[in-house]
Amino acid sequence: LACLSSDVEHGTGFGRVEGLLEWTILMGEEGEGEDGVMAAREVAGLLLSNMAADKENAQLIADTHRAVSMLANCVVEGNVVVGTLACRALCNMPLSENLPESGNVAHVRSQWFITSTYLTQEFMGDHDFCDTRDAPKGLLDILMLGRPQCQIEAAGVLCKLSGEPAAMQLLCETPGTFQVLVDMLGLSSHMASESASALCYRISLERQYRPELGGVARCLEELANVMDTGTLIAQHMAAGCLLNLIDSPDNQARLIEAHNVLNILLRLGEEAVNQMVKRCAVGVLRQVVDGVGGFKAMRIKRRVEGLQLR
């Protein structure tokens, strides 16, 4: 069944086979015999990850009792194969609402677009991967150490969990996670850039992390590049993130020295069709213009003041 589910034509109909989902979840929870638990969970994860690629199946899995809890247990346990398969299923499931394609800029946590749902709360459960006193487990391991596609899927799951303060606290307090997300911004995968830019935006709502995130190598440049060439969702997430980051004096000083970023922002402020991107670019420039000395300051200030915003 797990092998057949990898075929799109067969896998799409599997979710509607009576009792199949319940049996798969039970197998993932209990396994068969003392030596077969992990093997059974691997098969269950493979079946669910293949089925969840279909949107209707993903919804059916999410609505099945204990499905999310079983997959969360697989992620937390630490087995690489089982955890990555569970993560692949979860990133396709509707654990939260989708990121908005348009909207206002969020400056504080309470304005964040993704809120906690009963499914994200079910995922969190009693799992100790959200205990920042211990080494990161499961989801963070996959994000930090997994293969590239697995890292992208882990970022997708974390994005869905971004309404949960405990999950975000762990992400922010685990060394190295910011660099992984910044590196992901530049990938050609839409899922990678959208999830990474959304997570960076969510991190930027926590004022204490703004200098640290902005200080990650190439962070400001990658955010500007996503504003310029990313998908609509990624553009909005990156624009909101950069506008929040520039509130930090440390990041203002970094941007003054980042000539390529300034040029991108000036061009976006003058030419961008996307009005939210345009407004955020101008907002960032206005924050730093007073810190730029000499002729450059006059040039930037003149161009910013001359921008016409609708």
Q: What angle do CA 35, 39, 43 make, to 5 degrees?
A: 155
How far, in Å, CA of 72 to CA of 196, rounded? 21
pLDDT at 151 over 90: yes
Q: How confident is the model at residue 5 (pLDDT cuts 50, 70, 90)?
A: very low
Q: How confident is the model at residue 101 (pLDDT cuts 50, 70, 90)?
A: confident
Q: What is the pLDDT of residue 290?
A: 67
Q: How confident is the model at residue 113 (pLDDT cuts 50, 70, 90)?
A: very high
Tens-place pLDDT, residues 168-211: 999 999 999 999 999 999 999 999 999 999 999 999 999 999 99
Q: What is the pLDDT of residue 126?
A: 60
Cβ neighbours of residue 11 under 8 Å, at least 6 residues apart?
4, 5, 50, 51, 53, 54, 57
CA-closest candidate to residue 269, choices 234, 242, 233: 242
Q: What is the rounded (10 degree) CA torsion for 86, 89, 90, 92? A: 160
- Name the percent of the chain lying above pLDDT 90: 53
Q: What is the pLDDT of residue 10?
A: 45
CA-closest candidate to residue 201, choices 163, 174, 147, 229: 163
CA 188 from centre of chain? 15
pLDDT at 35 over 60: no
In this predicted model, which residue has the larger pLDDT, 102 or 263?
263
Q: What is the mean pLDDT of residues 272-285?
A: 92
Alpha carbons within 13 angstroms on the beta-carbon side of residue 236 total: 15
Tens-place pLDDT, residues 181-190: 999 999 999 9
pTM: 0.88
- Angle at which helix 249-257 crosses helix 219-229, to 10 degrees, equals 70
Q: What is the pLDDT of residue 308?
A: 57
Burial (0-12, 13-18, 19+ Cβ within 10 Å), 272: buried
Q: What is the mean pLDDT of residues 1-9?
A: 47
Span of 44-48, 235-239, 243-247 with lowest mean pLDDT = 44-48
pLDDT at 301 over 50: yes
Tens-place pLDDT, residues 55-86: 888 999 999 989 999 999 888 876 888 889 99
Q: What is the mean pLDDT of residues 111-122?
A: 93
How far, in Å, CA of 202 to CA of 215, rounded? 16
Q: What is the mean pLDDT of residues 282-301?
A: 72
pLDDT at 3 over 60: no
**CA distances to 48, 140, 147, 148, 187 from 151, in Å:** 19, 9, 6, 5, 12
CA-closest candidate to residue 235, choices 174, 278, 188: 278
Q: What is the mean pLDDT of residues 261-273?
A: 90
Average pLDDT, the chain: 85
